[in-house]
Amino acid sequence: MINDALHRLLLDNLTTATILLNAELRLEYMNPAAEMLLAVSGQRSHGQFISELFTESPEALSSLRQAVEHAHPFTKREAMLTSLAGQTITVDYAVTPILNRSQTLLLLEVHPRDRLLRITKEEAQLSKQETTKLLVRGLAHEIKNPLGGIRGAAQLLSRELPEESLKDYTNVIIEEADRLRNLVDRMLGSNKLPSLSITNIHEVLERVASLIEAEAQGSITLVRDYDPSIPDVLIDREQLIQAVLNIVRNAMQALAAQSDLRLGRISLRTRALRQFTIGHTRHRLVVKVEIIDNGPGIPPELQETIFYPMVSGRPDGTGLGLAITQNIISQHQGLIECESHPGHTVFSIFLPLDQGAAPS
């Protein structure tokens, strides 16, 4: 019994999704990693046929039946599984027949490829963003120093001018120098550390929703899709409001600019994710906030650089809103991602809910 309990404990704590099927391809056991991957409950799904858990191809079922009959293990690469929720997952999986009391069981070890690809993409994105920050900080230093000299010289010149009307020119120099300095400060982002407090994430979204509804005046439909079971999170409320507001305002402006007659729609959705990796840290619980719109989408050539300063898809855009948002999310040890195609753009914000986390 001690060994059985230990084996169960080991399986329950594996990060590899593990599924055990009987000879009839019905579920005997799945560990929490498999439950999270397939978004099903192992206890409630016990005894269900494998196609009731996820679907692949008819050939896959045939391969599993042959594995039972001939005790032949096999591995499949880049299989496309569709969960009951309709989500498509790219995985590698290995099937190992196990003989237990004259009955053949099948052990499935499922390795999601999407997660590994996402982590690789995230690491590359963070590396690029860090390089960009260093470049912007160096450039800002080189710009602000001469700007200070130009402004000071203009002030001194203004005092020496014989006619009051000539001061209009020095005032232009001073005002433009101030404008450039403010622009550089915005590019650098705030150096102020977040003022963290326990906050309900839906309070943040409701504040953003009220501001957007006042600005839109009925020109868009705002949809709320909240998970009320999400616990409070340790965040800077005002900074998070600013971060989400930047994204939602971008979506609203994109909807206003589209040429078709569809009513613009923005959805605010929250979900809790378990065992989610951000950077090199695996968190037990993460809140996922999605901002979804049905606008024209982000041009493909901009999708890799939209979080960089001065990158904008609008002629009148400053290109600073998303850079500021990304900086705020990073200060909260979170992650922001974007997926976009015409008619569907999703910005996803991931914020850790747990205080303790394990290296991935």
pLDDT at 200: 95
Parallel, antiparallel, or unpaired for β 344-352 and 27-30?
Answer: unpaired
Q: What is the C-alpha to C-alpha distance for residues 95 and 265, in angstroms, rounded to an integer?
A: 44
Q: Judge whether residue 261 has pLDDT over 70.
A: no
pLDDT at 195: 85
The Cα-based distances of 224 to 255, 292, 332, 345, 347 in angstroms read 18, 11, 24, 16, 15
Q: Judge whether residue 320 has pLDDT over 50.
A: yes
Q: What is the C-alpha to C-alpha distance for residues 105 and 108, in angstroms, rounded to an integer?
A: 10
Band (pLDDT 50/70/90 cuts) for residue 27 is: very high
Q: Judge whether residue 245 has pLDDT over 50.
A: yes
pLDDT at 316: 53
Q: Judge whether residue 113 has pLDDT over 90.
A: no
Q: Judge whether residue 4 has pLDDT over 90.
A: no
Query: Between 334 and 1, where is the model more confident?
Result: 334
Lowest mean pLDDT among 59-68, 77-86, 88-97, 128-137: 128-137
The Cα-based distances of 195 to 84, 288, 324 in angstroms read 41, 21, 16
Mean pLDDT computed over 270-285:
83
Query: Between 129 and 249, where is the model more confident?
Result: 249
Q: Judge whether residue 40 has pLDDT over 60.
A: yes
**Which residues 6+ apart lie within 8 Å of 324 measured at CB?**
186, 189, 190, 242, 243, 246
Band (pLDDT 50/70/90 cuts) for residue 260 is: low
Q: Judge whether residue 358 has pLDDT over 70.
A: no
Over its C-alpha atoms, the chain yields an Rg (Å, rounded) of: 27
At what angle are helices 113-160 and 167-188 packed, to 10 degrees?
A: 160
Q: Judge whether residue 22 has pLDDT over 90.
A: yes
pLDDT at 359: 46
Q: What is the C-alpha to C-alpha distance for residues 326 and 237, in angstroms, rounded to an integer?
A: 15
Band (pLDDT 50/70/90 cuts) for residue 312 is: low
Query: Between 329 and 184, where is the model more confident?
Result: 329
Average pLDDT over the chain, rounded to whole?
Answer: 84
Top-ranked range on mean pLDDT: pick from 12-21, 156-165, 174-183, 314-323: 12-21
pTM score: 0.63
Top-ranked range on mean pLDDT: pick from 126-140, 156-170, 238-252: 238-252
Question: String of b and e for 255-276 (b: at least 16 CB within 10 Å)?
Answer: beebeeeeebebbbbbeeeebb
**Residue pair 246/177 in contact by the 8 Å Cβ criterion:** no
pLDDT at 275: 73
Q: Hunting for tokens 């237990």 — which residue is that?
A: 100
**Residue pair 272/286 in contact by the 8 Å Cβ criterion:** yes
